Chain A
Amino acid sequence: MTQKKIKTRLALKYCGSCNPQIHLRRIANYLVRVAGRQHDFELVSLATRDTDVIAILCGCPRACGNKAEVRARARYCLVVAGESLDGKLISEANLPIALEEALTRVIRHKEHPRGGANLKLTAGTQ
């Protein structure tokens, strides 16, 4: 009997977008396309219980969406803040793919916590 694989639940949290330096919707749309293609994660609303990962999408380095109460809603958290991902500088053009790769690492880590996936989590997320 094969066991149905449970998809990783990814929620998006935006900073509020008062003066974004990057196109946040473009990143979100990219993730929607990837989710439709790869089937190993699904996008859920922020209010969903048992969310596995929250991607906090902030338009600039001030990262207004990166708050403890937001991070506490999921086991894993990825923070885009302007042209950066989890504190590492990444150009806007490369951010969607970098976020996808980070998400893949999280999914692997979630499925095989001791399997050697090299995962550096955002401070305070686990």
Chain B
Amino acid sequence: MGMMTGKDYRESLKTLRPEVYYMGEKIENVVDHPAFVPHVNAAALTYDMAAAPEFEELTTATSHLTGEKINRFTHIHHSHDDLVKKVKMLRAIGQQTGSCFQRCVGHDGLNTIYSVTYDIDQKKGTDYHQRFTKFLREVQSRDLMISGAMTDPKGDRSLPPGKQKDPDTYVHIVKRQGKGIVINGAKVHITGAVNSHGHLVMPTSSLTAEEADYAVCCYVPVDAPGVVHIFGRQTNDTRKCDCLLDQGNIDYGSVGGEALVVFDNVFVPWEHVFMAGEYEFAYSLVERFATAHRQNYGGCKTGLADALVGAIYLLTEAQGTAGASHIREKLVEMVHLAETLYCCSIACSCQGYALPSGSHMADPLLANVTKLNVTRNVYEIARLAHDVAGGILATMPSEADWKDKKVGKYVDKYMKAAAGVPAETRMRLIRLIEAMTCGTALVESMHGAGSPQAQRIMIWRQANLEHKKRLALKLAKIGDTKENKN
């Protein structure tokens, strides 16, 4: 065993039997079903790019456990360089897919649980870290794709997990047995869930002693009995089944492919349980995972923006507007917004630090600032793309009409713009821009890795406001100046 190729990855998925539902049907073959093919392709590229010489500096790493060369998506960061390389890798892959490639969530889960299990063991004398390290060796040697299953359905948002009318609105332990635990509940928005090998289940919020059964972290294979996947709809998703050009991003789709994952009395053996009741560590787990995942967004989204800016520039050439000064200004603004996100991700990586386990995490304040900027800048980039592309983005005739024997000649004639550019070129660019900026793709930038308010809460906690107050007191010469010196 060792690093897989994209082909190996697809073959490995075919050996699994996950329970998957989509549009009222049970899906027997995820790998070849048109609804899932783009998402499988995007994830497969994370394997193929690890084997490509021009990318391997970023997409591979050396395992600190075995010394073997591994896919970076299974690596535990042990330096600032590792943190920076993760961001650069995400940008490089995003440039190639123009869409979410899903695998970062599980990667962040692995890094989070590695450090938190160490901390739990130090305080409680448990053996979670040893268990997890054994599991990690398997993940690295088999090059597994793991989803990060954190967000619970949450039910009534005004109530904590322990006070919900339906206890299953948060995943929790319902039984402890000699050989393991049984869990109930569900996780929502789980990216890449149906085409992963398994799920890393993690708590989603800080917890109290009364909520100890909700403090559960474990690994569940994708086809474990009782695990049910219900795949989410996406904007224009039927285009995946009945056309090509109109899909825009034919190979990789518009988002990662998210699912509601139900855990209906799922048994988890102890060797795959990494937290079972240690509620006081739930917050640090959530904070570290959120930091790791929010660190990413200035990498992958910048990669996507690189491709989008390219598409917009090509479209302006195809439409004869490339020379206009306001077009250049808007392209510059798109680049500025994208590179600002990249700056944030690089900065929080460079300001990262070592944890007691020896692994490294990004700076939490700067990582949250990164993601909060993503919730704004990606929308602004999309707004500028819509502005420059023109109304045709929302009104262009279909691929079917362009190919129609009777009206196709009209579509072709009137979709042409600048001399020498075929209508098909312009139409393909418009559809790509539509896929990258309309609907589901945008919402992913807002709520992926947590909603803006979640980032604001963490920014508030990390803001070091007392220090800022002392600075003001000193400058204004208020109170005890000696006390306010620092």
Q: A residues within 8 Å of B by Cβ?
A: 12-19, 24-25, 28, 46, 57, 64-65
Check B58–A17 contact: CB distance below 8 A. Answer: yes
A sample of 6 more A-B contacts (CB under 8 A), given A17-B54, A17-B55, A57-B54, is A15-B57, A17-B92, A19-B88, A24-B54, A25-B54, A46-B53
Q: Which residues of B contact A18 (CB under 8 A)?
A: 58, 88-89, 91-92
Instruction: Give the secondary structure class of B's interface.
Output: helix
Q: Name the residue of chain A whose CB is nearest to the CB of B96.
A: A17
Most chain-B Cβ atoms within 10 A of its Cβ — which of A17, A28, A46? A17
Assuming the A-B contacts A17-B92, A18-B91, A18-B92, are A65 and B306 also in contact, with contact meaning beta carbons closer than 8 angstroms in the complex? no
Q: Which residues of B contact A17 (CB under 8 A)?
A: 54-55, 58, 92
Most chain-A Cβ atoms within 10 A of its Cβ — which of B55, B56, B57, B89? B57
How distant is B238 from chain A, measured CB to nearest CB, in Å? 35
Check A16–B85 contact: CB distance below 8 A. Answer: yes
A25, A28, A65: the one contacting B57 at CB < 8 Å is A65
| CB-CB nearest 4 A-B residue pairs | A16-B57, A16-B58, A18-B88, A14-B54
- What separation, in Å, do the CA atoms of A51 and B220 have in the docked complex? 46
How distant is B8 from chain A, measured CB to nearest CB, in Å? 20
Q: Name the residue of chain A whose CB is nearest to the CB of B85.
A: A16
B39-68 interface with A by 8 A CB criterion: 53-59
Q: Which residues of B contact A19 (CB under 8 A)?
A: 88, 91-92, 95, 306
Q: Name the residue of chain B whose CB is nearest to the CB of A45.
A: B53
Q: Name the residue of chain B whose CB is nearest to the CB of A18.
A: B88
Q: Which residues of A contact B92 (CB under 8 A)?
A: 16-19
- What separation, in Å, do the CA atoms of A65 and B58 have in the docked complex? 10
- What separation, in Å, do the CA atoms of A46 and B91 have in the docked complex? 24
- What separation, in Å, do the CA atoms of A95 and B123 have in the docked complex? 58
- What separation, in Å, do the CA atoms of A16 and B57 have in the docked complex? 5
Check A14–B306 contact: CB distance below 8 A. Answer: no
Q: Which residues of A contact B85 (CB under 8 A)?
A: 16
- What separation, in Å, do the CA atoms of A16 and B54 have in the docked complex? 6
Check A14–B57 contact: CB distance below 8 A. Answer: yes
Assuming the A-B contacts A17-B58, A18-B58, A19-B306, are A12 and B53 also in contact, with contact meaning beta carbons closer than 8 angstroms in the complex? yes
Check B53–A14 contact: CB distance below 8 A. Answer: yes
Q: Which residues of B contact A57 (CB under 8 A)?
A: 54
Q: Name the residue of chain A whose CB is nearest to the CB of B90.
A: A18
Query: Can you list 18 A-B pairs with a CB-CB distance of less than 8 A?
Result: A13-B57, A14-B53, A14-B54, A14-B57, A15-B57, A16-B54, A16-B56, A16-B57, A16-B58, A16-B92, A18-B58, A18-B88, A18-B92, A19-B88, A24-B54, A25-B54, A46-B53, A65-B57
Q: Name the residue of chain A whose CB is nearest to the CB of B306.
A: A19
How distant is B91 from chain A, measured CB to nearest CB, in Å? 5
- What separation, in Å, do the CA atoms of A13 and B306 have in the docked complex? 24
